[in-house]
Amino acid sequence: MYSEVINLKTPEQLDQMAASGQVHAGAMQVAVETARPGATTKEVDTAVEKFIRENGGIPTFKGFRGFPGSICISNNDMVVHGIPGPEVLEAGDTLCIDIGVTLGGWVSDGAVTIPVGGESNAVADSLMETTKQSLFDAVDQCRVGNHLGDVGHAVEKRVEGAGFSVIRELIGHGVGRQMHEEPQVPNYGVPGSGPELQAGMVIAIEPMVNAGKPEIFVGDDNWSVYSADGSLTAHFEFTVAITEDGPRILTPWHDLIDVWR
């Protein structure tokens, strides 16, 4: 029943999405290089938008439901959807950078969390590394014949095994011509449950993890999402295609960014 609403992409369309994803990865590299101590979050936003447009793309998030920025930039206890502005980055911040690129009508979506200035502490390091690893665990489940529940379960298992919490109110999604398509992609699940994965499905997998309890709330700007207990958070995201040859990461920031290579 799900196959009627999940848009499957042809191999040619996947190549077009990969071209969008290459611009995305380049934009992420620009973001990470700009997000140094002393920079404002708006400066990161401006540099990324410039790069995307110079490469023929459009920043997908800009104007989405009225969102004012080109990127979402969220630090420390802020999980996602932070609005770029005058806030100055400090060494030791854990900073989530989330970017959407539309190129040739195809959307790519991805995120990383970095230690600003390369400075961190043991909890932040473990949180970021665990969240990133949970994303790679999930990607490894993106095989024809597996189910979405296998993908979510892989995230949940890694995160909870490390003593952290999967946020349940925010989830990943199908992606293609639209930023948000079917299916919904939770970061938890029962193995073997949910839609069966088919060649041509493209999903944005995005574990969002709190160091403390899983609850969240939305701030006064109606965008920024925070951990309810004020604990540190991390978020990593790939746009991934399911193919007959296995998972294909379409937003390969891990090839370009030293900190997470």
Contacts to Mg ion by CB under 5 A: 109, 204, 206
Q: Which is nearer to Mg ion, 120 or 238 (CB)?
A: 238
Q: How far is the CB of 101 from Mg ion (least distance, A)?
A: 12
Q: How far is the CB of 53 from Mg ion (least distance, A)?
A: 21
Record the tokens describing residue 227, joined without a space.
């951990």
Shortest Å, Cβ 47 to Mg ion: 21
- Comparing CB distances to Mg ion, the nearer of 109 and 156 is 109
Pick between residue 71 and residue 204 the one whose CB is nearest to Mg ion: 204
Helix (H, G, I), strand (E, B) or coil at 64: helix
| Cβ-proximal residues to 111 (8 Å cutoff; 6+ apart), any chain | 72, 80, 96, 97, 98, 99, 206, 235, 236, 237
Q: Least CB distance from residue 204 to Mg ion, whole Å?
A: 4
Question: How many residues are present in the chain?
Answer: 261
197: how many CB neighbours lie within 10 A of its CB? Answer: 22
Rounded to whole angstroms, how far apart are CA atoms 98 and 94? 13
Of 126 and 224, nearer to Mg ion (C-beta) is 224
